[in-house]
Amino acid sequence: MRKIWVLLFLIILIIIFFQNIFSNNIKAGEAGVGVLNVSPQYNIIRLMQQDDTYRIYLTVSDYNSWDDIQSINVILMDDNGEKAKFIYKQYKDNITYEKINEFSENSKENLLIIKKCSYDHSNGEDIEDKCNLNLLFVFQKTWFTYLNIIAYDRNGATATIQIDYTSEDLTRSGNIIIIPGINKSTILEIPPYFLDIIAILVSTLVTWYIFRKTDIIKIVRAIYEKT
């Protein structure tokens, strides 16, 4: 039985190995890391009240490289719906590669303090060092019930998160609110049929093992001969 599980484990490793070889040969746009297109994800989200302003610190990761992130929307919501939308655009559009690195606000509130907003990105040779885009949104103190944050990459993949904190809570505490981040992890692309392959392999090996242990063929033959 131990040999069967060792064989199954080796087969699974071989499948994963070849799957990653094929995935890494597919280039995602001009990003440069070279994996299948994956959605952005949030590593750090920090909301801070400072004087009469709020600061949102975002670290968004894209394993196709930070260069693959098209835009980030931060939407303030209140009881009546959308109150204000703050937008960061890395590119003018998702067709050309004309960089603009622009902050803007899509509302009548005029809350975003654009001159205090900023962006930068990670540098380095490791994959993780090519993936992080760091953003700072600074806006005037106001009342809101929660935030919607949406990240878009150049291929249309998105990552959305909702932060259910009211500005009243922030005003009373005056402390930093840190939303637990996601530890950096290695993205492993597994095809949708992968689990089916494992299930077929397991069922085949288990069936073979049962036949072998019970000598069911001999039992069937003996019953046939008696009849």
Q: Is residue 85 part of a domain?
A: yes
Domain annotation covers residue 175: yes
In a domain, 190, yes or no: no
pLDDT at 134: 94
> Can you give the pTM of this predicted structure?
0.59
- Kindly state whether residue 106 falls inside one of the protein's structural domains: yes
In a domain, 167, yes or no: yes
Number of domains into which the chain is organized: 1
How far, in Å, are 45, 62, 63, 178, 199 from residue 128 at the CA level?
Answer: 18, 9, 8, 22, 33
Does residue 226 form part of some domain? no
CATH number for the domain including 159? 2.60.40
The residue with tokens 């005056």 is: 174
214 inside domain: no
Domain that residue 112 falls in:
41-179
Beta-sheet strands, E only, within the chain: 41-50, 53-61, 69-78, 81-91, 99-105, 118-121, 132-140, 146-153, 158-163, 177-179
Q: What is the pLDDT along the chain (227 residues), one digit of tens a residue?
A: 566 666 666 676 676 655 554 444 333 444 455 556 778 888 888 998 888 899 999 999 888 888 889 999 999 998 889 999 999 999 999 888 899 999 999 988 899 999 999 999 877 666 666 789 999 999 999 989 999 999 999 988 999 999 886 544 443 333 344 444 444 333 334 454 555 666 677 677 767 666 666 666 666 666 666 66
SS3 119: strand
- In the numeric block, the tokens 């993949």 are attached to 157
At a CB cut-off of 8 Å and minimum separation 6, what does 64 contact? 28, 29, 31, 33, 35, 37, 38, 153
pLDDT computed for residue 108 by the predictor: 86
Torsion angle, CA of 55/168/108/147, rounded to 10 degrees?
60
